[in-house]
Structure 1
């Protein structure tokens, strides 16, 4: 890589790392902790993605790619071998429960609107809904979380009404951080795929719309517009995916979808 290309990469990394540094500092992570974690991820990525004929990359090649000594690569690999998988999170299960409430035949009325349902009992009930869509998260835990995040509310007679099709963790909640990490990961993976498209690979959709001359007084109006139109589009995509989910038993599967975000960046003052 020539000097100009290296300069571009450094600029890109700095731009990507700026919001990430802000996030990690708010969570109390120090530069040293981030540096140690970065080293581990560099070794992991070089090992998994740069092998020959699908095999893991050997220690010497990982050392050359990353600039980390062979001894340290070996130490990092040993750490990876004992690394525990992160605990199962409730984000996906909660979204599945809410989606099932909007789409399950037993949970929608003649107008395809979600029913008000009792907490327990046979379907349609919240208990039965969780048994079908909620994974291994306990029903009381799921209900408490969905009420806390204003996705579900109790009616005056004690039944349950769904308010949101998607689960959005509470601010500063660990689940919210993991939700953000998932979205960041997906965006960067898509951009990585498109920028370094391999032979025979397929570009993934990556459009955007923005304008740097919008008066700040208009921003609330834009948010309201996007809340309505964006949510409607996501629900349309969700319906399309749900109609095709599990249609070919025995065939390999993948997680596909779309993430939609509002963006806002203050213009620098000259």
Structure 2
């Protein structure tokens, strides 16, 4: 962890990228009823927490005075806020359970085909063939497979076909809008993307792959065509890496590291005066950072 505040960047240089980064989050906050004072209190807690733990000097106890110096927050407020704040790494039990079962269904050769497509699974265990009951039991024994199946049927993650088999539907790949799972991954995935980019900015040379292909000056039809193709290519990459990660990690000794590979696709209409120029200036491709 850094022991002191790095001064490789002037604060003013961060204003423009921060404004662009935070704009969609501010839009979400306003729509969700999170007011500016509420956000201010959260930021105050985070500033104190990060300064307390990420900028502690080796072998020295972090003091209220130093946290106040690093953050610009008054010492009385620092004293009140140290140790406060909600846990940022907590994973809702239902999110963890669902993700682990889905990952195994899509990766384990016992439950998927060679291309990573999930097999239809009979409901109950059979020693001679895979089943939904075996799938759940291979991940957790804390819940009954029937309870998981009932929940997934209610959430429309699976359907029962005419052979009484559980069939994973495509919607299972996408968390329900506004649900606990989607909100958890909002924080997790954005955190990891931003953390990778920040690490690359602070490091002498980039440590993480963090690139994008981007074209400007497109028609709506072409943007939609590229978006659909991007989804296909991205899902192929995600499914392939899920299978490989499952193969090397299943049964391996546990460790303290985690790994995240993510893909995002985005398109929007750029309306003047926000557009910097016409298609002739911006119809290009770059590996962006």
The TM-score, its normalising length taken from structure 1, stands at 0.84
- What is the CA distance between 1:175 and its match in structure 2? 2.1
**Shift, 1:119, TM fit:** 2.3
Is the CA contact 2:153–2:159 (under 8 Å) kept in the aligned structure 1? yes
Q: Match for 1:261 among 252, 260, 264? A: 264
1:170 and 2:173 matched: no
How far apart are 1:228 and its partner, in Å? 1.2
Q: How many residue pairs end up in the alignment? A: 265
RMSD of aligned alpha carbons: 3.1
Equivalence for 2:234: 230
Match of 2:34 in 1: 29
Verify the 8 A CA contact 1:91 1:169 in the aligned structure 2.
Answer: no
Q: Which runs of 4+ in 1 moved over 6 A?
A: 82-85
- Residue 209 (structure 1) aligned with residue 213 (structure 2): yes
Distance 1:111 1:172 in 2: 31
1:68 to 47, 69, 73: 73
Q: Is the 8 A contact 1:49 1:56 kept in 2?
A: no
SS of residue matched to 1:90? helix
CA distance in 2 between counterparts of 1:56 and 1:17 reads: 33
Unaligned runs of 5+ in 1: none
Shift of 1:33: 1.0
- Counterpart residue number, 2:48: 43
Match of 2:244 among 237, 240, 243: 240
Cα deviation for residue 146 of structure 1 reads: 3.8
Once the two structures are TM-superposed, the CA of residue 48 in structure 1 deviates from its matched residue by 1.3
Secondary structure class of the residue paired with 2:79: helix
Alpha-carbon separation, structure 2, partners of 1:30 and 1:111 = 47
Shift in alpha-carbon separation, 1:70–1:259, aligned structure 2, 3 A: same
What's the CA shift string for 1:145-189, capped at 9, x where partnerless?
A: 544555422102332012349642111223212211111111111
Distance (whole Å) between structure 2 residues aligned to residue 14 and residue 20 of structure 1 = 10
1:169–1:11: structure 2 CA closer, same or farther, 3 Å change rule?
A: same
Sort the Cα spacing of 1:170 and 1:38 in 2 relative to 1 into closer, same or farther, 3 A: same
Kindly indicate whether structure 1 or structure 2 has the higher relative contact order, using CA contacts under 8 Å at least 6 residues apart.
Answer: 2
Partner of 1:125: 131
Is residue 183 of structure 2 the alignment partner of residue 180 of structure 1? no
